[in-house]
Chain A
Amino acid sequence: MNDREPENNGLTELEFARRLRELDDEIQPERDLWVGVQRQILDLPHHREPLFWMPYAVAASLLIAVSALMLNVVQMQRVNSIPIQLTGLDELQHEYVRVRNPMVENFTRVNESLDEGTRTELYRNLEIMAQARRDIEFQIRANPDNHRLIAMLMKLHEQELALLKTDFTNLSRSM
Chain B
Amino acid sequence: MSRPDSHQLHDESALVERAKNNDYRAYEDLYRTHVGRVYALCVRLIKDKDMAEDITQEAFVQAWRNLPKFRGDSAFGTWLYRIATNTAISYLRREKHFKDSLDVDELEIEYRETPDEQIGLEQAIGALPDGARAVFNLYSLQGYTHDEISGMLNIAPGTSKAQLHRARKLLKAVLS
Q: Which residues of A contact B (CB under 8 A)?
A: 6-11, 16, 19-20, 22-31, 33-34, 36-38, 40-42, 44, 46-47, 93-94, 97, 101, 127, 130-131, 134
- How many angstroms from the CA of A24 to the CA of B1 in the assembled complex? 9
Contact count band on B = 35 or more
- Whether the pair B36, A41 counts as a contact (CB closer than 8 A) is no
Instruction: State which residues 25-51 of B face A: CB under 8 Å.
Output: 27-28, 31-32, 35-37, 39-40, 43, 49
Q: Which 8 A-B residue pairs are closest in the complex by CB-CB distance?
A: A26-B36, A10-B172, A27-B40, A11-B172, A10-B173, A130-B21, A41-B64, A40-B61
The answer to whether B28 and A34 touch across the interface, beta carbons within 8 angstroms, is yes
**Apart from A11-B172, A29-B49, A34-B31: 5 A-B pairs, beta carbons within 8 A:** A28-B39, A37-B61, A41-B24, A42-B24, A97-B17
How would you classify the secondary structure of chain B's contact residues: helix, strand, loop or mixed?
A: helix
A105–chain B nearest beta-carbon distance, Å: 10
Q: Counting CB contacts under 8 A, is B22 at the interface?
A: yes
Other-chain contact of A23, B36, B53, B141, B175 (Cβ < 8 Å): B141
- Neighbouring A residues of B168 by C-beta, 8 Å: 16
Q: Measured between C-beta atoms, what is the minimum distance from B167 to chain A in Å?
A: 11
Answer whether A33 and B22 are a contact pair too, CB < 8 Å, given A16-B171, A41-B61. no
- Which residues does chain A contribute within 8 Å of B73, judged by CB atoms? none
B35 CB to closest chain A CB, in angstroms? 7
| Shortest Cβ distance from residue A33 to the other chain B in the assembled complex, whole angstroms | 5
Cβ of B114 under 8 Å from chain A = no
Report B-chain residues with C-beta under 8 Å of the C-beta of A30: 49, 53
